[in-house]
Structure 1
Amino acid sequence: MKTIENLHKTLIQRKRPEDVAQIILEVLEYNLSSNEKDILKKASKGSLKNTFFEYTSMMQEFATAIGAEKQIKKTIEIFKLSNKDSVDYYNVDDIKKFIEEVSPLINKVVGANNFLSDRLNKEQRKEKGLNLSKRSYNKKWRLLKRLENKLLKYKREIKKIEFQKIGKHGLAHTIKFQEFQKDLNSACFIAYYNSRCNLRSVFTNTRQERAFDEISQMLLNRCKGISTNTVLGILKTKNKLKQTNKTNWWAISHIYTSQEVLGNLSDKHKGELLGKWTGILQEIADLLAEIWLKSDIDRQTMVVKRGNDSTTWNNTAGAWNKARDNWMNIIYALGMDYILDEICFGKVLRLMAADVVAWHHSTGGKLDPNTDIWNKIPLPWEVFQGKENCNKELVVKYCNQAGVNPEKSGWIAPRVHGVAEFKPTPELVHGVTVSNPYLATVLKKHKYFSGKNVKPLFPERN
């Protein structure tokens, strides 16, 4: 059971596929064919457990938002409060409740933060029975204002991190242990595919590595009741085995929404997923609109320039595209693709680093034709807000003009992917592959490949 719990924990982590494969080998130790073991060992042999130093420079966790501990403790100190030790500094509702309980102590209205018009003057303080000097009152008023601002910032950071996770692996991190443990094969597929989805992007002028690899395929085949065995060196697949009823397709659909997976769900579950993803699209659209208005993004080229918050934009754009793909998959699974005749949200392009674009052009590449489509169709959040109209006919028109197949490219239909060959996870420093994890750690510390001023490795020699 402990091993299953460890496997479940990887859903909220960024474990390397090699390390997740090692856990799966332990979980399915007596339930694997010789060929299945060989396939898993392609990855597990590179796990930290099987390496001499057991070390990687890659972070094993997603970023976390910093709570309001500092601000709340200071407020308790300045206001000389007691019985406030139970406040959870990382719980939005607790922080909000704390603000609402403390603000009346100086007759401050929550949300009224204009320094000139929302503070009480001497007469008003006296009228309210506040026996505070101007200096003491202002200090407490400013402190509560900073706490309110911290809450707003904290909520925004939580949302940004949530969208980053969605952009990587859909809703995998929301699967509860009780649901996860229902079927072993399903759990193993979800955990391994999740680790592949969470891989970092590599600095390249070609496509990124596809998440669905040969190990993902083998684990999914087990969920489908297909077992592989090696006989006389020839791989034979037993396709017509009786499928069990234990496969947890509902859990799998939180990370992998192929038509085959969705076909195993009830219409009720499909409808529930559609509602979830539509709501998520709306939340992401709001943040995209906010970032777009605050940034001076070059829509024509989508090349990043000074002042662009490329990290937030790219993470949020990735979340939109992932949510859109899932939304698209579900409406097709429900036979509701006629919706696209009325409303068809476009993709959101990521910002590209200028050096990557230059590298791409130097090798004979051209501007991604999807950029041309992105430039012509209405912005997705404006469509969501009802300010613009965009339907399937319009998208197909601009796809054809750009020489892009609207169906195979995922603009108007679910995208179909192949099966990638497993490749060892590289140690990366800002997307650049470094052979040694210790060297990678040093280079990160000194800001190599970051686009920032590099700290010399040996400053005394300069």
Structure 2
Amino acid sequence: MPSATFEQLLRELHASLTLRKRPEDVAQLIQDLYAAQGTDLDTATEEALAKAAEHSLRNLWHGYTSMREEFARPVGAQRQLARMADLFTSVSSLPGDAGKDPARIEVVIRRAGEEIGRSYGQNDFGMDRLNRTERTAVGLGEMSKRQYNKRFRLLRRMEAKLARLIHEQRRREVVITGKGALAHVLPYELFATDPDTAAFIAYVTARGYMRSVFTNGRQRQIFDEVAEALFQRLAKRPEQACWYAVAHVHPTAEVLAQVTDQDLTRLLVRWNGFLRQVAGLLEDAWNRHPLERDTMIVRRGDDSSTWNQAAQAWNTARAHWFALLTELGQDEILDRICPGKVPRLMAADVAYWHRMSGGGLHPDTYVWADLPLPWEVLRGEKECTRSLVRAACARHRVDPTAGGWTAPRPAAEAVAFRRTPELVHGVAVADPLMASALRSAGVFSGREQRAAVQEWT
């Protein structure tokens, strides 16, 4: 098979910003990119990339991972649209991707509704259907009641499907943004401005997309020795790097100092909007089932998945927001509005593990419990000033600056590269083939295991 060209490799790296490739495989792509370009790498970068790429799927004997290499996508409305084309003369066959576009789906629903005298949003099966006289008045006298009801029910289901699709698409964006910041919205033209910039963004994003591990310690940090080596290549040639693109994923003071105020403001506006969107998700989850704020341990009825995804997205957006305000010289805003961080819910077994190993609740949990809820702060219903946050931190012996409560977090030091573990519901498994078998059997998932697996274990 012929070797990929530099352009193809660059596009593959850009595509990885919306996928969930292992960092080792992204490191392999970066190696190939530099080789295709004929770049002479410095020793530190060459060794770091080689250390990571050694464990890429291309270099492993099985060449396989049991973990999905993309984020779950919402199921579109292709099947329902095909059915609508059969029942409504005003609806023609649409391309397959139309079922993933909420705007196009809504247009089709509205157009089909006009065909049977129904307005968008009229979904009450008892009150909104037309009787025989009304159907005759709108030109449906030849259509039987059964055929009319069939079309009415389909449109009602289509509106419900559209609402679910919009919700799941927003939730997917929240998940991706929480893990990889704004990498997924970077256009190819901006990403490809500089190969070193592209390499750093792709690798750091892949590290951010890594799954959480079932542990009673800290999760793996994003910034490792490979990211450090790639970043140093940018630092050595700042005039060629695209710092605005880097700021989408790595908002350190060193990076933001290289970005124009206009571009910083554009990012700030984007994160402002995202903070409000995520605050709405947090509030919805809270209203459905208020959490145990003092412990943040999962109880029956808690929607821990939605909460934890939104909490991670909130903390990511908040960190970028703080960093941008500080760089723009507008951090006095935090003196008046300083919403707190949001902790994730912890499973009861993990909490017990913490206690048995001599630990306890994270101190941030106590600070969070002392502060107003974030959505109340953003709406102006409750005050949460920087002095209030400092006082809460002082009561619970938390450093408000180092902890990121009242100022941007200090830049993280690079950690050593470690191979990506094969995970089954957060539990590391040595062999990907065994991981597939355990996952399909429901092991570690909390579900009842199949008899064959019970015998084997």
TM surpasses 0.5: yes
Structure 2 counterpart of 1:134: 145
- Which AA in structure 1 matches 2:225? E
Q: 2:125 aligned to 115, 121, 143, which one? A: 115
The answer to whether the 8 A contact 1:296-1:307 is kept is no
Q: Distance in 1 between matches of 2:258 and 2:226?
A: 22
Q: Distance in 1 between matches of 2:355 and 2:299?
A: 18
| Aligned-pair CA distance for 1:192 | 0.6
Structure 2 counterpart of 1:95: 105
Structure 1 counterpart of 2:62: 53
Q: Distance in 2 between matches of 1:137 and 1:370?
A: 58
Most deviating of 76-85 and 157-166: 76-85
User: Is residue 136 of structure 2 the alignment partner of residue 143 of structure 1?
Assistant: no
The answer to whether the 8 A contact 2:298-2:345 is kept is yes
| Aligned-pair CA distance for 1:255 | 0.6
Q: Distance in 2 between matches of 1:98 and 1:252?
A: 40
User: Is residue 350 of structure 2 the alignment partner of residue 356 of structure 1?
Assistant: yes
Q: 1:31 aligned to 33, 40, 43, which one? A: 40
Q: 1:223 aligned to 229, 234, 252, which one? A: 234
User: Is residue 328 of structure 2 the alignment partner of residue 328 of structure 1?
Assistant: no
Structure 2 counterpart of 1:75: 84
Q: What SS does the corresponding residue of 1:457 show, helix, strand or coil?
A: helix
Taking only aligned residues, the RMSD between alpha carbons, in angstroms, comes to 1.6
- Which AA in structure 1 matches 2:395? Q
Equivalences for 1:119-268 in 2 at 5 Å? 119-131=129-141, 132-225=143-236, 243-268=237-262
| Aligned-pair CA distance for 1:461 | 8.8
The answer to whether the 8 A contact 2:441-2:453 is kept is no
Structure 2 counterpart of 1:12: 18
- Which AA in structure 2 matches 1:2? Q
Q: 1:315 aligned to 309, 317, 327, which one? A: 309
1:92-119 residue CA offsets vs partner (Å, 9 max, x unmatched) = 1110111111011111110121222222
The answer to whether the 8 A contact 2:201-2:246 is kept is yes
Q: Distance in 1 between matches of 2:171 and 2:456?
A: 42
Structure 1 counterpart of 2:4: none
1:147-180 residue CA offsets vs partner (Å, 9 max, x unmatched) = 0110011000000000000000100011111111
User: Is residue 100 of structure 2 the alignment partner of residue 105 of structure 1?
Assistant: no
Most deviating of 120-129 and 199-208: 120-129
- After superposition, the Cα gap between the structure-2 partners of 1:424 and 1:460, relative to the gap in structure 1 and judged at 3 Å, is closer
| Aligned-pair CA distance for 1:126 | 2.4
The answer to whether the 8 A contact 1:360-1:366 is kept is yes
| Aligned-pair CA distance for 1:244 | 4.6
Structure 1 counterpart of 2:443: 448
The answer to whether the 8 A contact 1:408-1:415 is kept is yes
User: Is residue 403 of structure 2 the alignment partner of residue 409 of structure 1?
Assistant: yes
Equivalences for 1:270-281 in 2 at 5 Å? 270-281=264-275
Q: TM-score, normalised by structure 1?
A: 0.93
The answer to whether the 8 A contact 2:81-2:94 is kept is no
Q: Distance in 2 between matches of 1:32 and 1:102?
A: 60
| Aligned-pair CA distance for 1:456 | 3.1
Equivalences for 1:280-429 in 2 at 5 Å? 280-416=274-410, 417-429=412-424
- After superposition, the Cα gap between the structure-2 partners of 1:45 and 1:81, relative to the gap in structure 1 and judged at 3 Å, is same
Q: Distance in 2 between matches of 1:461 and 1:437?
A: 18
- Which AA in structure 2 matches 1:6? E
| Aligned-pair CA distance for 1:444 | 0.5
Most deviating of 113-122 and 151-160: 113-122
| Aligned-pair CA distance for 1:205 | 0.4
| Aligned-pair CA distance for 1:277 | 0.5
| Aligned-pair CA distance for 1:216 | 0.5
Q: Distance in 2 between matches of 1:335 and 1:404?
A: 25
The answer to whether the 8 A contact 1:67-1:89 is kept is yes
- After superposition, the Cα gap between the structure-2 partners of 1:314 and 1:244, relative to the gap in structure 1 and judged at 3 Å, is closer
- Which AA in structure 2 matches 1:152? A
Q: Distance in 2 between matches of 1:316 and 1:90?
A: 23
Most deviating of 317-326 and 66-75: 66-75
The answer to whether the 8 A contact 1:167-1:316 is kept is yes
Structure 2 counterpart of 1:84: 93
Give the fraction of aligned pairs with identical amino acids, expressed as a percent.
40
Q: Distance in 2 between matches of 1:82 and 1:278?
A: 39
Structure 2 counterpart of 1:437: 432
Q: TM-score, normalised by structure 2?
A: 0.94
| Aligned-pair CA distance for 1:128 | 2.3
- Which AA in structure 1 matches 2:355? H
Q: What SS does the corresponding residue of 1:99 show, helix, strand or coil?
A: helix
The answer to whether the 8 A contact 1:446-1:456 is kept is no
- Which AA in structure 2 matches 1:28? Y
Q: Distance in 1 between matches of 2:454 and 2:331?
A: 62
1:178-231 residue CA offsets vs partner (Å, 9 max, x unmatched) = 111110111100011111111100000011010000110110000011xxxxxx
Q: Distance in 2 between matches of 1:352 and 1:432?
A: 15
